[in-house]
Structure 1
Amino acid sequence: MAPSPEAVRLARRLRDLRESARLTQKDLSRALTLPDSRVAVATISSWESHTNPKLPPEERLRSYALLFAVSPLPNRIPREQDLAADERERFTSLHRELVGFRDEIRHHQTSTAPSSGGAYTFDFESGRITLICPEVPEEGRSPLADLANPNHTRLYKYADLDALIEMWGHVRASNPELRVRHRLPSEVSADHLSGHLILIGGIAWNNVTSRLLRVLDNLPIRQLQVPDLADGEIFKSRDGREYLPVWETIKDADPDAPSKAELEADQAQDAWKGDSPRELVEDVALLARLPNPFNQSRTITICNGVYSRGVLGAVRTLTDDSVRERNEAYLANRFPNGIFGLLMRVPVINGEAVTPDLEISENRLFEWSPEDADT
């Protein structure tokens, strides 16, 4: 699809600013790069493209305005408080112009969202993005998680690693100009909490998710432990309904399959009921998007499940290219303000999670939005 006239105008203006200062894209890359935020040459090229222009974050346009307000051009972005009176006037005018272009583009994208797909859930305009993933208990870790091991691999400390890798790759690809980090709950700082947060995994191993679920009182979904499940926590809606995984007894169990004692040692004791082995055939997933209570201009996304299959199902709802477009369209139409909570069925076939298709009503177990709560 051809870019909008508004997008082409912004791309052309950014290129004119650079060329009028006789800068190469590499020169501009150096000038715009900050100690904690790099701007690649390829990113600048994508902003200037006339055929497929990418939309710069608003904070980058501010950096353009600061840089090109000063003459002669500095090597680094100046601080606004250091500008002279005439430079401040040029900065204000140029910033207003560039942001105006950007607002027109965003308006165009919003108005065409139902037919073209619009902006996606994990396409962020600005800000840092932190993925918070639970930590594997020490008794369940690989030896490679040990710092003393010469083959130490830090990621072996993460639980829900399938979901983390899936989400990490998707968010990085969708936001090439933004900083994306992943952290264990014990590594989370106030700086992380002020940006966009993506919480992966359940309350048993992710104390950040547990704390934030208590903070986010608007979400009428809670996760709680029950005596029948040792390895997972069920979901309960505010109306008292409980949402549980589905297990089936294995009638002809493999004689070489792990024993009940071995499963308990591996923290998989839910795979037995009484004296019978059983198979997980359906998990429950929670996908929710809310404003960040620590910074209302940023968001919190929760991807959770009773078990790890549900966590992966929640993540893949908006990353799996086989259903992503349909699921994004459903969310855009059903929750136009972008704030929602969903509980979904996640079938498990041969041990693999099947991505929920939101157009299938049976897959949607519970739905919530602020508008629903007000009616």
Structure 2
Amino acid sequence: MSGDDRAQTALARRLRELRNSRWPDLRITQAQLRQAFEVSLALISSWESTRAAKIPPPHRLEKYATFFATRRSIVNGHARVLPLTDLTPDELDEQRELFAELTRLRREALRAQLSGEDSEPSSGRDIYRDNPWRFPDGEPITIICSQLPEDQRTTIPYPSPDGLDYIELYKHSDLDSLFELHGHLRAANPRSLVTLRAPEDLRSDDFTAHLVLLGGIDNSEVTTSLRERIQLPVRKVPDRDGELGPYFEVHEGGDTPARHHPRHTGSGADIRLLEDVAFFYRGVNPDNVERTLTICNGMYARGVYGVVRALTDERFRDRNAAYLRERFGDATSYSILTRVLIVGRAVVTPDWTRDYVRLHEWSQPPPGD
């Protein structure tokens, strides 16, 4: 085994050693770690694999260090990660030492992994391999994009199809998001047909592809039907009298749903958006269980753009995609309600590894789980 190979597997071997041998009289199972870390069993197993090891992010290693810093992490067979404030001074010292060790091993594993990748010809890499926007070769993809209301379409240049300079894309809203996502889908899926549709133009075959609902498509009869059939706990509420503009509402079984509003400054003609709220959902297409349904929505157009960029921006897409895999594992459907910061005219790509950015998360486990 080469030095690079040893470095890539050292972290996985150490994580397995902690689970099996940390306390000689108490063997921890992967199922208990799954319970404590709130991740999938497959993910725990991948972190311990010496054949195809996945490298955990720092916040997961911090949980490992905290868990194995004290035997109080196990009570009557129940596994938990104690808050750092509950640890004794000796346990805190142990936690810091373990975290430092695991961080070092992670750094060495990443260095070895990057070294191995750099030795490959760039043409042989698949940079989209683990991205949620990558689908199996040849499977069709349909983007259903939001549409400008009829009264707004009459104000744009050449609104009639009979005009000499008519441009069909003018009828879509969220053009920034559409331009960004369409290009990414074409690049990530070069052997798939990527079709753009407005709700009024949908055809029968469009419903059985990988569906992407993009933008403020809530008022469309077609897309409203799709949302009702998947029964999400999050819904977009339009502006109402007495309310501070539109908002997302989260229902989790309580009497009072949580509300998440965008943030503004100023008023009237001088109002400016400081922070939007956006929604990302991935699940099974209700019209074809072998295809997916994805929703990218926001209170405003820049929220839609931000949630699209979360998985297309080359500086954040791999990190956010890794977070989705680690957080939701093999869930059949999941969603994130996220903040999208606006600085001047610029939309800041949300980093889902930051707790502050994520407003709400939800997932549905696979059948029988």
Query: Distance between the aligned counterparts of 1:111 and 1:367, measured in 2?
Result: 28
Alignment of 1:147 onto 2:161: yes
Measured after TM superposition, the shift of residue 210 of structure 1 is: 2.2
| Contact 2:276 2:340 (C-alpha < 8 Å) held by counterparts | yes
Alignment of 1:361 onto 2:355: yes
Secondary structure in 2 aligned to 1:227?
A: coil
Hey, what does 1:241 align to over in structure 2? 258
Query: Distance between the aligned counterparts of 1:177 and 1:231, measured in 2?
Result: 46
Q: Which amino acid aligns with 2:263?
A: V
Measured after TM superposition, the shift of residue 307 of structure 1 is: 0.7
Secondary structure in 2 aligned to 1:210?
A: helix
Q: Which amino acid aligns with 2:364?
A: P
Query: Distance between the aligned counterparts of 1:314 and 1:374, measured in 2?
Result: 31
Hey, what does 1:79 align to over in structure 2? none
| Contact 1:143 1:149 (C-alpha < 8 Å) held by counterparts | no
Secondary structure in 1 aligned to 2:356?
A: helix
| Contact 2:330 2:365 (C-alpha < 8 Å) held by counterparts | no
Hey, what does 1:214 align to over in structure 2? 228
Hey, what does 1:183 align to over in structure 2? 197
State which of 149, 156, 171 in structure 2 corresponds to 1:137.
149
- CA offsets 1:164-183 (integer angstroms, 9 cap, x no match): 11100000000000111000
**Which one is further off, 333-342 or 184-193?**
333-342
Query: Distance between the aligned counterparts of 1:149 and 1:135, measured in 2?
Result: 19
State which of 342, 348, 353 in structure 1 corresponds to 2:342.
348
C-alpha spacing 1:226/1:248, structure 2 compared with 1 (3 Å): same
Hey, what does 2:31 align to over in structure 1? none
| Contact 2:330 2:366 (C-alpha < 8 Å) held by counterparts | no
Matches within 5 A, 1:60-209: 111=52, 114=55, 119-126=130-137, 127-141=139-153, 142-204=156-218, 206-209=220-223
C-alpha spacing 1:245/1:229, structure 2 compared with 1 (3 Å): farther
C-alpha spacing 1:231/1:322, structure 2 compared with 1 (3 Å): farther
State which of 267, 273, 281 in structure 1 corresponds to 2:274.
281
Gapped runs of 5+ residues in structure 2?
1-48, 57-112, 114-126
| Contact 1:330 1:358 (C-alpha < 8 Å) held by counterparts | yes
Query: Distance between the aligned counterparts of 2:329 and 2:258, measured in 1?
Result: 26
| Contact 1:135 1:206 (C-alpha < 8 Å) held by counterparts | no
- CA offsets 1:73-115 (integer angstroms, 9 cap, x no match): xxxxxxxxxxxxxxxxxxxxxxxxxxxxxxxxxxx9x955557
Measured after TM superposition, the shift of residue 145 of structure 1 is: 3.3
Q: Which amino acid aligns with 1:296?
A: V
Query: Distance between the aligned counterparts of 1:308 and 1:286, measured in 2?
Result: 12
Query: Distance between the aligned counterparts of 1:248 and 1:296, measured in 2?
Result: 44
Give the TM-score of the pair, scaled to structure 2: 0.60
Secondary structure in 2 aligned to 1:343?
A: strand
C-alpha spacing 1:230/1:153, structure 2 compared with 1 (3 Å): farther
- CA offsets 1:24-62 (integer angstroms, 9 cap, x no match): xxxxxxxxxxxxxxxxxxxxxxxxxxxxxxxxxxxxxxx
Alignment of 1:292 onto 2:310: no
Measured after TM superposition, the shift of residue 138 of structure 1 is: 2.4
Give the TM-score of the pair, scaled to structure 1: 0.59
Hey, what does 2:117 align to over in structure 1? none
Q: Which amino acid aligns with 2:236?
A: Q
| Contact 1:114 1:332 (C-alpha < 8 Å) held by counterparts | no
Query: Distance between the aligned counterparts of 2:219 and 2:159, measured in 1?
Result: 16
Alignment of 1:313 onto 2:321: no
Query: Distance between the aligned counterparts of 1:129 and 1:312, measured in 2?
Result: 19
Hey, what does 2:238 align to over in structure 1? 225
Measured after TM superposition, the shift of residue 222 of structure 1 is: 1.1
The sequence identity of aligned pairs, in percent, is 37
Hey, what does 1:328 align to over in structure 2? 321
Secondary structure in 2 aligned to 1:330?
A: helix
Query: Distance between the aligned counterparts of 1:228 and 1:373, measured in 2?
Result: 42
Hey, what does 1:68 align to over in structure 2? none
Measured after TM superposition, the shift of residue 184 of structure 1 is: 0.2
Secondary structure in 1 aligned to 2:158?
A: helix
Query: Distance between the aligned counterparts of 2:162 and 2:324, measured in 1?
Result: 46
Query: Distance between the aligned counterparts of 2:292 and 2:149, measured in 1?
Result: 28
| Contact 1:135 1:205 (C-alpha < 8 Å) held by counterparts | no
Q: Which amino acid aligns with 1:246?
A: R
| Contact 2:131 2:317 (C-alpha < 8 Å) held by counterparts | no
Secondary structure in 2 aligned to 1:369?
A: strand
Query: Distance between the aligned counterparts of 1:366 and 1:328, measured in 2?
Result: 17
